[in-house]
Chains A and B, each alone.
Chain A
Amino acid sequence: MEYILTTKQLSKYFYQKKALEKVDINIEKGKIYGILGPNGGGKSTLLKLAAGLLKPSGGEITIDNKNPGVYTKSIVSYLPETNYFYKWMRIKDALNFFNDLYVDFDMENAGKSIEFMKLEEKEKITSLSKGMLGRLKLSLALSRNAKLYLLDEPLNGIDPVSREKIITSILDVFNKKSTIIICSHLIYYIEKLLDYIFFLSEGQVILEGETENLRNERGISIDKLYQEVFQ
């Protein structure tokens, strides 16, 4: 079993708040994972720890058997919830920036993706709508040939047409050598993509399993299951 990401008793505390409490997770290569749960449950925190933005309070997290650092950042493509672009950039600058700083960036693919998402290279970042920013972030994140993609709420604030495009893009980039972890509230739209899911609440995994098995066992969709579990 080859794992791209493992956590052992991983904990993260902010002042008094326990964002993650002794979490053990193993992520296999070549699958699409869903980490689902309510806000503040620890999903974003887990992703940020994997991205190297947060440092563990306890336990450990390894990506490709290495601690988060310069190497892991080079094989991980992180899509945050917020707009993380430098305000001075135009879309073209963002493409060039990624191309210069990431060895695995596919410039040609990125250009096509930008077109597919109906974005123009000469646009300024500051003039883009929330939806456009979401599509741009995704185009860039998915134009990398990363070993691990961490997508934090990729469908938030996205209109239905763009949503379909994003799902198509995610499927296009996915292959046996890569792994995708998606955090999303919009379970209905992404369930068909997920191989395995974790329900994360108050910093702990309260349910996990193969998506198809859960459907088989419970006879309901993951969306419904989520509603049941989190009332």
Chain B
Amino acid sequence: MEFNNCSPIYLQIIDSIKQDVVVGKLKTGQKMLSVRELAGKIKVNPNTIQRVYQELEREKITFTKRGMGTYLTDEEKIIKLLEEEISDKIIQEFINGMNKLGFSNDKIIGILQEYL
């Protein structure tokens, strides 16, 4: 994981984890690395990781089993939501980028049909 220092790191890490979930790098129900482990792995302040895990738990993407650690959810519904969230984000970014270059939405649809 590479992160830049220009925007809050905890948000970048959350996004990265969400992507890993959608892509399948992290399997449903899988045990997450502990706060210390992850902090050491990506060389980031453990308090930041703590914040990441708190946020993930708040969004119900992870849950904590007392005394055993943090686990990725195995609820299909949540994973589905994540997929949508991420793809929406990418699509929105794409559209914004294209709009900035001067492409109207109709043109975008045309180009996409050709491309795909």
Report whether B9 and A212 are in contact in the complex, using a CB–CB cutoff of 8 Å. Answer: yes
Chain B min CB distance to A160 (Å):
13
Q: Decide if A167 touches B7 in the complex (CB within 8 Å).
A: no
Is A231 in the interface zone, CB < 8 Å from B? no
Interface size class of chain B, counting residues whose CB lies under 8 Å from the partner chain: 10 to 19
Q: Are A221 and B44 in contact (CB under 8 A)?
A: no
Whether, in the assembled complex, A191 has its beta carbon less than 8 Å from a beta carbon of chain B, the answer is yes
Inter-chain contact B43/A221, CB cutoff 8 Å: no
Chain B residues with CB under 8 A of A212: 8-10, 48, 51
Cβ–Cβ < 8 Å partners of A221 in chain B: 4-6
**B47, CB-defined interface residue at 8 Å:** yes
Verify A192–B5 contact, CB threshold 8 A: yes
Q: Which chain A residues numbered 19 to 35 have a C-beta less than 8 Å away from chain B? A: 30-32
Contact B44–A216 (Cβ < 8 Å): no
Q: Let me know if A195 is at the binding interface, CB within 8 A.
A: yes
Q: Is B32 an interface residue (CB 8 A)?
A: no
- Distance in Å from the Cβ of A11 to the closest Cβ of chain B? 31
Q: A-B pairs with CB below 8 Å: how many?
A: 54
Known A171-B39, A171-B40, A172-B40; judge A193-B45 contact (CB<8 A): yes
A209 partner residues in chain B, CB cutoff 8 A: none
Cβ of A223 under 8 Å from chain B: yes
Answer yes or no: A219 CB below 8 A from chain B CBs: yes
Q: Is A174 an interface residue when CB atoms closer than 8 A count as contact?
A: yes
In the complex, chain A residues whose CB is within 8 Å of the CB of B51: 212
CB of A193 within 8 A of CB of B44, answer yes
Residue contact A167 to B48, C-beta cutoff 8 Å: no
Q: Does B94 contact A (CB under 8 A)?
A: no
Distance A195 CA – B45 CA, assembled complex (angstroms): 7
Point out residues on A near B: beta carbons under 8 Å.
30-32, 164, 167-168, 171-172, 174, 188, 191-195, 212-213, 215-216, 219-224
27 examples of A-B residue contacts, CB within 8 angstroms:
A32-B47, A164-B43, A167-B43, A168-B43, A171-B40, A171-B43, A171-B45, A171-B46, A174-B45, A192-B3, A192-B5, A192-B43, A192-B45, A193-B45, A195-B47, A195-B48, A212-B9, A213-B8, A215-B5, A215-B7, A215-B8, A215-B9, A220-B6, A221-B5, A221-B6, A223-B5, A224-B6
